[in-house]
Amino acid sequence: MNSSGCVISRSCSTKENVTMSSKGGARIVVDDDDEMLSPTDLSELLADGTKESHDRAENCQFVKDFLRGHIKRELFKRGTAALYFVYTAMEEEIEKNKDHPHIAPIYFPVELHRSEALARDLEYFYGEDWEKQISVSVGTKPYVERIREVGEKDPVLLVAHSYTRYMGDLSGGQILKKVAQRALKLPSTGEGLNFYQFEGIHSHKGFKQLYRSRMNELELDVETKQRIVDESNRAFGFNMMVFSELEEIGKSIKEEFQDPGFGHSHAEVMQGGDINKCPYYAAKMAASGNPTYALQLATMLVRYPPCQVLLAAWVAILAGFTAWYIF
């Protein structure tokens, strides 16, 4: 499937009208929100199989500090650089394998690829010579090397990396953009935040449904599906390495927090330690388009005050891997 052409829905229960955007990307309009998902669908296996990794990563100190509004500009810049190296590696490997039977159905470069947008953000933060000022950090290098390895030796595992990143990027990116603009006093015109702009996608929700249906239709045996889930958990681990590195760097950076006190502790709204009862997790899963959690989230929103509802939406973005990005 070439994303510059029309996207044809196959055996997905969601009805989709697809037209071309002015920039050549697919424009998806969803007529019916219902999806018939099976516990053996890859998207469901990923949701269930990464719960523990999600919880561990969400509770690392760097993430908790970020949620409280302790955002340092220098760390934001370094995090953007880390994302640039990760996405560049992933998108180059996807491009090399775009005709692979397990990659072609989810190949959407116009709609999804982020490396060029990240390059524009880095130019904003570092200036025209940004490429000379950044390098792959020690904490980011293993992540990049793993993506290169699977792209060369086992391309089907790119499904895990692309799904966990892109679907999270689409799960509420505009909310996180506003948070960053507020905390870091970035321009309202979007400079430094191009990463969150998906100009080739008209409906984030519709596109996620299309992407998930394409992924669920991949011809994969049980063993391969499990390897993809395992790889997604491995991606969580790589991200925790990046978080830990940024946390250590942050200890030596003397910079006042620009929006102190913003946010709440994840522990304040947990119920008995069950992640399925966590409104953050429900928000993340609902934002990713998973209908199983939509009703659960609606019920939880009645129980919590508005500030926690907003935070749940924020953590849906921040904690997703479905997508783990914080920048």
The stretch 8-33 carries a mean pLDDT of 36
pLDDT at res. 46: 93
How far out from the chain centre does Cα 29 lie?
Answer: 22
According to the model, what pLDDT value does residue 255 have? 58
The tally of domains found in the chain comes to 1
Question: For residue range 185-210, what is the model confidence (pLDDT) as tens digits?
Answer: 999 888 999 998 999 999 999 999 99
**Distance from the Cα of residue 274 to its chain's centroid:** 23
Question: What's the CATH number where 131 sits?
Answer: 1.20.910.10
294, part of any domain? no
291 versus 236: the higher-pLDDT residue is: 236
pLDDT digits 0-9 by tens, 241-256: 998 999 999 888 875 4
Asked if residue 181 is part of any domain, the answer here is yes
Can you give the pLDDT at residue 66? 67
pLDDT band at 84 (very low <50, low <70, confident <90, very high): very high
Residue 326 lies in a domain: no
In a domain, 242, yes or no: yes
pLDDT of residue 67: 65
What residues have CB less than 8 Å from 20, skipping those under 6 apart?
A: 6, 26, 27
Task: Answer with the residue of higher pLDDT: 109 or 287.
Answer: 109
Rounded Cα distance between 61 and 6, Å, is 44
pLDDT value at 105 more than 80: yes
CA–CA gap between residue 289 and residue 113 (Å, rounded)? 20
Residue 99 in this model has a pLDDT that exceeds 70: yes
The pTM (predicted TM-score) of the whole model is 0.71
Domain that includes residue 231, residue range? 42-252
Residues in the chain: 327
Position 299 scores a pLDDT of 53
| Residue 193 CB coordination number (10 Å) | 25
pLDDT tens digits, 282-301:
444 444 455 544 555 455 54
Q: How far apart are CA 210 and CA 205, in angstroms?
A: 9
Q: Tell me which residue of 180, 93, 95, 81 sits closest to 132, measured CA to CA.
A: 81
Higher-confidence residue of 12 and 130: namely: 130
Q: Is the model's pLDDT at 21 over the cut of 70? A: no
User: Using 50, 70 and 90 to split pLDDT, how confident is the model at 160?
Assistant: very high
Task: Extract the tokens encoding 35.
Answer: 């999806």
- Provide the phi-psi class of 69: left if phi over 0, else alpha when psi is between -120 and 50, else beta: left
Q: Within 10 Å of residue 14's Cβ, how many Cβ atoms?
A: 19
Q: Of the candidates 81, 82, 239, 99, which has an alpha carbon nearest to the alpha carbon of residue 160?
A: 239
Task: Please check whether residue 210 lies inside any domain of the structure.
Answer: yes
Give pLDDT tens digits for 23-62: 333 333 333 444 577 889 999 999 899 889 878 877 888 7
Residue 148, domain member (yes or no): yes
Residue 54: predicted pLDDT:
78
Question: Do the domain assignments include residue 12?
Answer: no
Whether 83 and 173 have beta carbons less than 8 Å apart is answered as no
Q: Looking at the domain assignment, is residue 225 inside a domain?
A: yes
Q: Write down the pLDDT at residue 236.
A: 87
- Of residues 175 and 169, more confidently modeled: 169
Instruction: Provide the pLDDT confidence category of residue 222 given band limits of 50, 70 and 90.
Output: very high
Percent of the chain topping pLDDT 70: 64
What is the residue-averaged pLDDT of the chain?
75
